[in-house]
Amino acid sequence: MQINRIFEITYMLLNHEQVTAKTLSEKFDVSVRTIYRDIDRMSQAGIPVYTERGKGGGISLLSDFVLSKVLLNADERKSILQALQTTRAVKFDPANEETLAKLTALFGIADEPWLSIDFSTWYGPSAHDFEQLKTAILTQKVVTFDYYNAKGEMSFRSVEPIQLVFKSMSWYLKAYCLAKQESRMFKLSRIIRLKVSEQQFTKRLQEIQVDKSLKPQAPDMIHLKMLMSSES
């Protein structure tokens, strides 16, 4: 508990220029005296922490601590943060947010990301569908749904979900179809009445056969004849 508390104190100090001992004692439900013991241990471990007493005082870290403790260069740090920031477009995850906050503080990068990506649409799959499919993929549970093909024909499907795929501005479910006995790609916007069953499955080693209806269709050909005067 003591080691975890020291790590948490360090992260708090990285996120805030100054924190009072009273604030830390209330957060961790320990006495102010215990907090000062933790600060002493942090100092002995080489963490450049210092305190200022009196009104407006508190506990702080030296400003160059972040740079001196990070082994990655600036571009590598930014790449890691941008990767985590991009995952926000798919699904909000408290664990991801906590990791992002800690790494942002550790790397000392507070700038807004240069790129913002939002894959959601007004007519795309709901967050509930994403959560259900994520759960089914991770727990290896069979899912069932009604599916409309490109011609508008509906059929009931029972599949073993493998992966969610974003391609050509649309979301797809990569899965093994139990009815067709082969791997397929299902467009999420054509899926309705999605349910996760209790039936477990074992992952198969199968090649994904892309549904022909998902491939771009060639435009209709128009044959033209041109008549030209011999005098021109």
Is the confidence at residue 86, as pLDDT, over 70? no
More confident residue, 140 or 54: 140
Q: Give me the pLDDT at residue 16, please.
A: 78
**Global model pTM greater than 0.75:** no
Banded pLDDT at 144 (limits 50, 70, 90): very high
What is the per-residue DSSP string for the chain? -HHHHHHHHHHHHHHSS-B-HHHHHHHHT--HHHHHHHHHHHHHTT--EEEE-STT-EEEE-TTHHHHH--S-HHHHHHHHHHHHHGGGT---HHHHHHHHHHHHHHT--SPPS-------SSS--HHHHHHHHHHHHHTEEEEEEEE-TTS-EEEEEEEEEEEEEETTEEEEEEEETTTTEEEEEEGGGEEEEEEEEEE-----------GGGSPPPPPP--------TT-
Question: Mean per-residue pLDDT for 34-53?
Answer: 82
